[in-house]
Amino acid sequence: MQNDEIISKINQLLVDEIEIEEDKISPAADLKKDLEIDSLDFVDLFVIIERNFGVKMKAEEMTEIKSLQDFYDYIIKRVGSN
């Protein structure tokens, strides 16, 4: 899977599953402040990412991830190492 395909799929999952408005999605968007992802949304996001990409996420790993670009980079790196 190519990087742009991964990013596109993540964006679509954010819209469909987490119900984030599409116009708020940009690489520079802060997950908590701009996208308003709370702790329950993060749990849902972990499950969605594992189901769709086979990437098992840990809560402690998310402390370094602030922006949507950070999140893309994390998933791309993990998908590439599977």
Per residue in 54-78, pLDDT (tens digit) is: 998 887 888 889 999 999 999 999 9
Work out the pLDDT band at 82, boundaries 50, 70, 90: low
- Residue 31 identity (one-letter amino acid): L
Q: What is the DSSP letter of 21?
A: -
Q: Where are the domains of the chain?
A: 3-80
Report the alpha-carbon distance of residue 58 to residue 56 in Å, rounded: 7
Q: Read off the pTM.
A: 0.89
Q: What is the CATH number of domain 3-80?
A: 1.10.1200.10
Element housing 47 (H / E)? helix 39-53
Which two structure tokens, joined as six digits, stand for 14? 């954010």
